[in-house]
Amino acid sequence: MEILLQQIINGLVLGSMYALVALGYTMVYGIINLINFAHGEVLMVGALTSWTIIGLMRDAWPTSPGWLVLFVALIISCVVASVLNFVIEKVAYRPLRNSPKLAPLITAIGMSILLQTLAMIIWKPNYKPYPTLLPSAPLQIGGAVITPTQILILGLTAVSLAVLMWLVNYTKLGRAMRATAENPRVAALMGVKPDMVISATFVIGAVLATIAGVMYASNYGTVQHTMGFLPGLKAFTAAVFGGIGNLAGAVVGGILLGLIESIGSGYIGVLTGGVFGSNYSDIFAFIVLIIILTLRPSGLLGERVADRA
Partner 1 sequence: MKSTNTKLLIGAVALLVLPLILQGFGNAWVRIADMALLYVLLALGLNIVVGYAGLLDLGYVAFFAVGAYMFGLMASPQLSDNFPAFAAMFPNGLHSPLWLIVPLGAGLAGLFGILLGAPTLKLRGDYLAIVTLGFGEIIRVFMNNLDHPINITNGPKGLGQIDSIKFFGLDLGKNLDIGSYTLSSVSLYYYLFLVLVVVSVIICHRLQLSRIGRAWMAIREDEIAAKAMGINTRNMKLLAFGMGATFGGVSGTMFAAFQGFVSPESFSLMESVMIVAMVVLGGIGHLPGVILGAVLLSALPEVLRYVAGPLQAMTGGRLDSAILRQLLIALAMIVVMLVRPRGLWPAPDHGKSLQAK
- Binding-site ranges for partner 1 (CB under 8 A): 29, 33, 35, 92, 95-96, 98-107, 109-111, 113-114, 116-118, 120-121, 124, 233, 236-237, 240, 244, 274-277, 279-280, 282-283, 285-287, 289-290, 293-294, 297, 309
Residue 41 or 160: the one with the smaller Cβ distance to partner 1 is 41
Q: How far is the CB of 231 from partner 1 (least distance, A)?
A: 14
Q: How far is the CB of 112 from partner 1 (least distance, A)?
A: 8
Q: What is the 3-state secondary structure (H, E, C) of the chain?
A: CHHHHHHHHHHHHHHHHHHHHHHHHHHHHHHHCCCCCCHHHHHHHHHHHHHHHHHHHHHHCCCCCHHHHHHHHHHHHHHHHHHHHHHHHHHHHHHHCCCCCHHHHHHHHHHHHHHHHHHHHHHCCCCEECCCCCCCCCEEECCEEECHHHHHHHHHHHHHHHHHHHHHHHCHHHHHHHHHHHCHHHHHHCCCCHHHHHHHHHHHHHHHHHHHHHHHHHHHCEECCCCCHHHHHHHHHHHHHHCCCCHHHHHHHHHHHHHHHHHHHHHHHHHCCCCCCHHHHHHHHHHHHHHHHHHCCCCCCCCCCCCCC
Return d(Cα 154, Cα 16) in angstroms, integer.
7
Residue 137 or 275: the one with the smaller Cβ distance to partner 1 is 275
Residue 191 or 307: the one with the smaller Cβ distance to partner 1 is 307
Q: How far is the CB of 74 from partner 1 (least distance, A)?
A: 28
Q: How far is the CB of 107 from partner 1 (least distance, A)?
A: 5
Residue 2 or 282: the one with the smaller Cβ distance to partner 1 is 282
Q: How far is the CB of 84 from partner 1 (least distance, A)?
A: 15
Residue 96 or 211: the one with the smaller Cβ distance to partner 1 is 96
Residue 68 or 106: the one with the smaller Cβ distance to partner 1 is 106
Q: How far is the CB of 4 from partner 1 (least distance, A)?
A: 25
Residue 1 or 306: the one with the smaller Cβ distance to partner 1 is 306
Return d(Cα 53, Cα 66) in angstroms, integer.
13
Return d(Cα 15, Cα 21) in angstroms, integer.
10
Q: How far is the CB of 142 from partner 1 (least distance, A)?
A: 33
